[in-house]
Amino acid sequence: MNTTTVRKSLGATPVFLLIFLSLIWGTSFILIKQGLKVFAPDQVGALRVTAAMIFLLPLALPRLKELRGGDGWKLFLSGMMGIFLPAFLFSIAQTRLDSSVAGILNTLSPLWTMILGAAFFQQRFRSYAIVGIVLSFVGAVWLALSRSGDAISGINLYAFLIVAACLLYGANLNWVKFKIPHLGAITIASVSVVLTSPLAAVYLFGFTDFTQKLQTVPGAWRAAGFICLLAFMGTALANLIFNQLVKMTTPLYASTVTYIMPLVAVMWGVLDGEVLTLWHFIGMGLIISGVYLANKK
């Protein structure tokens, strides 16, 4: 069934879910920025994972009975790659990167999925996909060189923290597809977070001054609220919507979120006073064009 047939049979529901999902994921980067106004990047990452566990725990507990021998450590690794480590990498990166640029760079995730699938899981892609991959990484380097001024300058190494986070996303998608295909999407999303969240909670409350900041720093509760909203929307709710969208339509249709999400991130960044120049839009154009070529059927 092609994408047009799917849309006609289901009406406007897939379109609504796609737009809603793009708004959620595109808003994630500005919420990280708001949290960083009070908390250190490691605290933002740890609180995001801890709060996500609270939202997903009711879904995870009844699904523990689905696990087989060996599924526990596989889900733990999935949680580390797909949730835990990227939460810290994005927070650290956004101490030196605008939220809009972070949203654009996040578009690299499907490319890493393809590259790692080909390297380790015998997946194949067509020759023009290689052109797309190269084009997108040129765009990523271009963005890393772009500053708020009117010229290209020294490279911003923090951009490559997001590239690394996208690599982890790609690795996790392949891991889930080939190593735990017998588990449902909700089981994977919820249990993997619950298994990794104790590390985040222990670190947050035992090794940082998070609690003290909540009690003494003006605006701390507001910043924490933004991070909890990020955990609920960007981690819990968005994953459930994405899985539902894939079931209702096709993976190709659901992947359209890749092209809409950075536009939402850019919109929020501009509204928050971030300055984007022609250089940034060139980088975004290169990345999105490359992703399109890499996913072209």
Q: pLDDT at residue 4 above 80?
A: no
Please report, for the chain, the start and end positions of each structural domain, with discontinuous segments joined by +: 3-295
- Tell me which amino acid residue 153 is: S
Q: pLDDT at residue 187 above 60?
A: yes
**CA angle (26 as vertex; 228, 268 as ends), nearest 5:** 95
Supply the pTM of this predicted model: 0.87
Give counts: helices (H), strands (E), the chain. 16, 0
Q: pLDDT at residue 10 above 60?
A: no
Q: Which residues pair with 146 in a beta bridge?
A: 152
Instruction: Report the sign of the C-alpha dihedral through residues 60, 66, 72, 76, in that order.
Output: negative
Measured in whole angstroms, the distance separating CA 168 from the mean position of its chain's CA atoms is 10
CB 209 within 8 A of CB 46: no
CB 62 within 8 A of CB 190: no
- DSSP-derived secondary structure letter, 64: G
Q: pLDDT at residue 1 above 50?
A: no
